[in-house]
Structure 1
Amino acid sequence: MKPSVVEIWVWVLIYGGLLGVCTGLAAERYGLALGEPLVTGGSLVASLGVLLIYVRSRMKE
């Protein structure tokens, strides 16, 4: 995989995960049952993005 593709995935995963976390927190505020899975899933997706930052730092140009 090319480094530029990894960089794109890093930002997509981080921002997508944080959007999921924010949406889940808003849903929890209104007592919806979907809130907790959204927060959990969003956190995992954002963590995967952070992991890809490490992977990208180890790639050769």
Structure 2
Amino acid sequence: MKTVRLEKLTWVLIYGGIFIAMLGLWVIDDNAALGHSLSWGGGLAILVGVLMIWLRSRRGDAAELPDKETPR
């Protein structure tokens, strides 16, 4: 996976996780099961995003792999 694509996915997971977690906290009073599910799911997405930042820092620039695209 290219570094640029990895970085985009990382930030989508982090900001999407924040949005989903906040949505879960907002819904939790009306529907506890849905609210808790959204909050935990959002928290998990944030955790995966932070883990991807750490993995990217350990990877370095030498691990830049080209995408497997077919030439046309």
Q: TM-score, normalised to structure 2's length?
A: 0.77
Question: Which residue in the other structure is 1:8 paired with?
Answer: 8
Question: Which residue in the other structure is 1:25 paired with?
Answer: 25
The structure with more helix, counted as a fraction of residues: 1
Deviations 1:12-61 (A, max 9, x none): 000010011000000013x2131000000000011000000001111222
- CA RMSD in angstroms comes to 0.9
Find the structure with the greater CA-based Rg: 2
* Structure 2: 5+ residue stretches without partners: 62-72
* Structure 1: 5+ residue stretches without partners: none
Q: Identity, % of aligned pairs? A: 43
Is 1:40 equivalent to 2:40 in the alignment? yes
**Separation (CA, whole Å) in 2 of partners of 1:6 and 1:58:** 13
The 4+ residue runs of structure 1 with deviation greater than 3 A are none
